[in-house]
Amino acid sequence: SPLHPFLQSLPKCEHHMHLEGSLSPSLLFTLASRNKITLPASADSAFTSPETLLDRYTRFTSLDDFLRYYYISMGCLIYEADFEQLAWDYFVRAKSDGVMHAEVFFDPQAHTERGIDYETVVNGFEKACKRAEQELEVTTKLIMCFVRHLPVEHTNETYIQAEPHLVSGRLAGIGLDSSEEGHPPRKWHEVYGKAKKQGIRRTAHAGEEGPAEYIREALTHLDIERIDHGIRLADDKELMREVAERKMLVTMCPLSNLKLRCVKEIGELPIRTFLDSGVSFSINSDDPAYFSGYILDNYCAVQEAFGLTVQEWENIAKASVNGSWCDGSRKDAIL
C-alpha cells in the first residue's frame, strides 16, 4: 500500500499479542534442540521441520486447531533465558513497526501445568521488558491470562500465586483466553470479582468464535474494562451502543480472525461499522508467528480491505494510545 510508510511511522500501541504466539518455527526448532525436547513428528508430520510447520500454519481450520500447535510448541520453553529471548525478539520487531508501548499477554498456567515455575516465566519476560524500555524506548506491560480450557479451580490457584505481583503492579492486569466455545465467561466471575475489589485491571477474550452473548456476559459478570477480539459485537446493536458510550476499547486482530476462519475475508470484519458507531478499537497481531503478520501487517491488511483515510488512521492510532493502561504522562509523550 502507498500508505505503508505512513502506517509504519504512526505512533501506536499494541494491546493484544500473546508472547507465546511470537514463537516462530525457527526459534521453536532452535530451542527444542538446545533443550533436548523431542517434537511429536511421528504423530504429526507437520513437526518435521520449520518449513513443514510454517506450511501447516497456512491451513488452520479453527481456534482450537491453532491452539493445539500453540500449546505443543510452547513446551520447548524451559529456562528463564528462553522466555526472555522470545519476548525480546518480539519487542525488537514491534519497535520497527512503530509500536511505542506494548501490553502483552502470557499464559502462566500453560507453563506451570507442565512443571515450569511461575517465577521462571515472569522473570524471563520481565527481563525482556526492562531491556525494551532501556534499549528500545518501548514501554511495556505484562498481562496474565487465565486459560479457559482448564478448570476454574486451577485459575484460582494461579491467581493466588500471582496476587502479590498484581497488587504491586509488576503485572498490569488479568485476561482470559484459549478455547472459547463451551467456556462462557461467567464461570470466572469469582476471580474477576476479587481482582476488581483489589483494583486490578481486567480484560477478556470474547466474541472471537463465541457469540455476542459472551461479550455481554464478560461485561456484566466479569466487569471487564477492555474487550479482546469482540468481532461479534456488531451482531448486537444495543450492546455495541453501550460499548461505544462507555468508550471501551475493542482489541481487534484482523489476520488472526482470517487465519482462524472467524471471517472469510478481512472485509467482513466490522471495522467500518465500528468507525461509524463510535466504537474505539485498536489493531493488533494476536499470535504473529502463527498468522504470518506482526502489527504493521495487520494495519496494512485492514488498509487493503477498507481503504481508510489518513484521518481515520490517525484516529485509530490515537485510540490505541488512549485505550492503553499506561499513565497519562506516557500517553502525552507518545501522542
Q: Tell me which residues touch ligand ADE (CB under 6 A).
A: 18, 21, 63, 70, 177-178, 205, 208, 256, 286-287
286 in a labelled binding site = yes
Q: Cβ of residue 16: shortest distance to Zn ion, in angstroms?
A: 6
CB 192 within 8 A of CB 212: no
| Best CA proximity match to 138, nearest among 13, 269, 263 | 13
Contact partner, 124, from ligand ADE, Zn ion, none, Cβ < 5-8 Å per class: none
Q: Cβ of residue 202: shortest distance to Zn ion, in angstroms?
A: 15
Cβ-proximal residues to 79 (8 Å cutoff; 6+ apart), any chain: 35, 120, 124
CA 287 to chain centroid = 7
- The CA-CA-CA angle for residues 166, 82, 71, to 5°, reads 75
From the candidates 20, 80, 208, 217, give the one annotated as an active-site residue: 208
Q: Cβ of residue 177: shortest distance to Zn ion, in angstroms?
A: 5
For residues 266 to 305, the per-residue mask of contacts with Zn ion, x marking binding by CB under 5 A and - elsewhere, is: --------------------x-------------------
Q: Is 208 a catalytic residue?
A: yes
CB atoms within 10 A of CB 248: 20
Q: Name the residue with the smallest CB distance to ligand ADE.
A: 177
Q: Is 14 in the site for Zn ion (CB under 5 A)?
A: no
Q: Which three cell numbers stand for residue 118?
A: 511461575
Integer-rounded Cα Rg, in Å, for the chain is 19
Nearer to ligand ADE, 16 or 101 (CB): 16
Kindly tell me the sign of the dihedral angle through the C-alpha atoms of 249, 165, 167, 162.
Answer: positive
* Known binding positions for substrate: 287
Q: Residues in the site for Zn ion, rule: CB under 5 A?
A: 286
User: What residues are annotated to the active site?
Assistant: 208
